[in-house]
């Protein structure tokens, strides 16, 4: 079994209930492969952690951005509490080294791992909330996730790039952008896509991602930067 005391030292959060800490890192596949352990997977903790995380982020944004309207706050929260950002944070604080997965899941380092890491972060938030209370989990989220807020606001990543580029393209050049996959690579479980954004037949910019949607968003962001339409 994984030694979670190393993770406790890293986060400086020492659990009273060590089983709760372990459960936060247990993926369903591990239980399916090891049914006799008597352990539970982390999905109930993830359910709780998702709600706790949303409250912490909402409270933080409400207080910090007092001039933002409800729609802007909602978009900013969505940009923070999404699988890509949360999995980056989970990976940064070393959660990947403590995951309890089936042998098959342990080999897959593609998009599936990204979602597992994001779900584990949420499950851990739920576990900290149960074991340590709101103040401790609030400090943990503020320290790990919320520093991303400045980058998201400064780069205007909270605005949906595809919607914004469509609005600007119609306003300035009277066209509706279209998207086309220009390249894809990798096995089925770890695909990488390159997508081009076109104004009529002209290729304006390209974006890369692990899904077509992600690559389209990146292409839209790159087109906005290229056209200087971000402000």
pLDDT in tens, the chain (231 residues): 688 999 999 999 999 999 999 999 999 998 988 888 888 999 999 999 999 999 999 999 999 999 988 888 888 898 888 888 899 999 999 999 999 988 877 777 666 788 899 999 999 999 999 999 999 999 999 999 999 888 888 766 666 788 888 888 998 999 999 999 999 998 887 889 999 999 999 999 999 988 898 899 899 989 988 998 875
Q: Which of 8, 33, 43, 50 is catalytic?
A: 50
Separation CA 121–CA 25 (nearest Å): 9
Domain that holds residue 79: 5-154
Can you give the pLDDT at residue 103? 83
Can you give the pLDDT at residue 231? 58
Whether residue 24 lies inside any domain: the answer is: yes
Q: Which of 46, 105, 122, 138 is catalytic?
A: 122
Q: Collect all residues with Cβ–Cβ distance below 8 Å to 54 and sequence separation of at least 6.
A: 77, 81
- Please check whether residues 63 and 125 belong to one and the same domain: yes
Residue 48's CATH number: 1.10.1520.10
- Please check whether residues 213 and 132 belong to one and the same domain: no
Separation CA 177–CA 79 (nearest Å): 23
Active site residue 50: yes
Whether residue 72 lies inside any domain: the answer is: yes
Of 154, 180, 198, at which residue does a domain stop? 154
Task: Provide the β-strand partners of residue 100.
Answer: 26
Can you give the pLDDT at residue 104? 76
Separation CA 116–CA 42 (nearest Å): 10
Can you give the pLDDT at residue 164? 83
Can you give the pLDDT at residue 213? 87
Q: Give the three-state DSSP class for 119.
A: helix
- Please check whether residues 83 and 23 belong to one and the same domain: yes
* Residue spans of beta strands (DSSP E) within the chain: 178-185, 192-199, 202-209
Are the CB atoms for 23 and 42 separated by under 8 Å? yes
- Please check whether residues 64 and 121 belong to one and the same domain: yes
Distance from the first to the final alpha carbon of the chain: 51
Can you give the pLDDT at residue 110? 66
Can you give the pLDDT at residue 113? 83
Residue 170's CATH number: 3.30.160.20
Active site residue 72: no
Whether residue 231 lies inside any domain: the answer is: no
Q: How many domains does the chain have?
A: 2
Of 135, 154, 173, at which residue does a domain stop? 154
* DSSP states of 69-113: -HHHHHHHHHHHSSHHHHHHHHHHTTGGGG-B--HHHHH--SHHH
Can you give the pLDDT at residue 1? 66
pTM: 0.72
């Amino acid at each position: 079994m994984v030694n979670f005391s190393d993770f406790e030292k890293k986060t400086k959060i020492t659990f009273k209930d060590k089983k709760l800490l372990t459960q936060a890192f247990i993926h369903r596949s591990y239980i399916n492969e090891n049914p006799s352990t008597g352990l539970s997977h982390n999905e109930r903790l993830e359910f709780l952690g998702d709600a706790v995380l949303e409250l912490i982020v909402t409270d933080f944004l409400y207080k910090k951005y007092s001039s933002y309207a409800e729609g802007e706050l909602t978009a900013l929260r969505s940009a923070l509490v999404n699988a890509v950002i949360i999995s980056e944070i989970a990976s940064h604080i070393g959660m990947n080294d403590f995951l309890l997965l089936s042998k098959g899941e342990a080999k897959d380092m593609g998009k599936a791992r990204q979602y597992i890491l994001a779900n584990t972060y949420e499950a851990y938030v739920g576990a900290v909330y149960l074991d340590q209370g709101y103040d401790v989990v609030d400090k943990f989220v503020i320290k790990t996730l919320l520093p991303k807020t400045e980058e998201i606001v400064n780069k205007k990543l909270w605005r949906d790039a595809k919607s914004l580029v469509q609005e600007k393209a119609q306003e300035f050049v009277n066209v509706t952008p279209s998207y086309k996959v220009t390249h894809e690579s990798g096995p089925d479980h770890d695909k990488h896509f390159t997508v081009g954004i076109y104004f009529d037949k002209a290729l304006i910019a390209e974006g890369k991602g692990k899904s077509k949607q992600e690559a389209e968003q990146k292409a839209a962001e790159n087109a906005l930067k290229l056209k200087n339409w971000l402000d």
